[in-house]
Amino acid sequence: MRIFLFGAGYSAQAFAKRMTGEVERIDGTTRHEQKFPLLEKSGISPVLFDGETPSPELLERLAKATHVVISIAPGEAGDPTLAWVEEALRRPDNTIRWIGYLSTVGVYGDHKGAWVDETTSCKPVSRRSLERVEAEQAWTSLSERHGTPLAILRLSGIYGPGRNAFVNLERGTARRLVKQDQVFNRIHVEDIAGALRFLAGTDTGGIFNITDNEPSPPQDVVAFAAELMDVTLPPEVPFEEAELTPMARSFYGENKRVSNQRIQALGYTFAYPDYKTAFSAMWKDGNWR
């Protein structure tokens, strides 16, 4: 297996670390040469990509990959990577046999706290979620044109080492925003890596919610982390009184419970099925920073 990562960020690096030693090669893009050492530490051979025009070296590495993972958000003009993957697939000597696209559960929109699964109609609320729906459709069309299996992984709120309530409590930035009946799903970055490994390993296509089993109020997560740390709990702040960026406020405009039963039915077992399991493990292992 040779892996190409378009956008070697937080989730893609976790996947690369998981796959190191199991694969022949892992290439990954970054916009900044100063990030090369970080990517190399994760087992990634870095290649520069400005988000628009790939180098001949990038296209060569892409065409020689067997598994391609897209971890770059689309923009108003669409997904900047789609045309280049199509170009690689048109090469008679390409070896690409599976594509994984990292999307978001935001594509479902607001369901007033009801459960949703992969058969639920998408009703995106925000512009960024609408762009995700359009990108999913574009990747699906590409998959059908070339007969290449495509797995769309719809991710919920990502957390893990360096990105969690422990870090926010330590920095003094944690807040307990309270909005009546509001819940969110979450996903530990290691389960994103695990799900990618599981699907890529069998070249499985389809749409999969990669999310935990326990949609919960966000203030409960902060409270649980504070209890483990034995630190003072931040006061509750009513949502209506909170100062939030437009993007942060938009997240609270969507309320749903997301099911992960489809990928579990295929045989994937979540390492961290709920936030309490994950936070307890991170605190015990001391790897939360």
The CA distance from 46 to 26, in Å, is 9
pTM beyond 0.95: yes
pLDDT (mean) for 280-289: 97
Distance of alpha carbon 154 from its chain centroid, rounded?
7
User: 281 exposed, middle or buried (CB, 10 Å; 0-12, 13-18, 19+)?
Assistant: middle
pLDDT at 207 over 90: yes
Tens digits of residue pLDDT in 92-139: 999 999 999 999 999 999 999 999 999 999 999 899 999 999 999 999
Sign of CA dihedral 149, 115, 14, 193: negative
CB neighbourhood size of 209 (10 A)? 26
Tens digits of residue pLDDT in 136-165: 999 999 999 999 999 999 999 999 999 999
Q: Where are the domains of the chain?
A: 2-157+186-210, 161-185+216-258+272-285
Three-class DSSP category at 105: helix
The CA distance from 162 to 189, in Å, is 11
**Could you say which of 3.40.50.720, 1.10.1270.20, 3.40.190.10, 3.40.50.300 is the CATH number of the domain covering 2-157+186-210?**
3.40.50.720
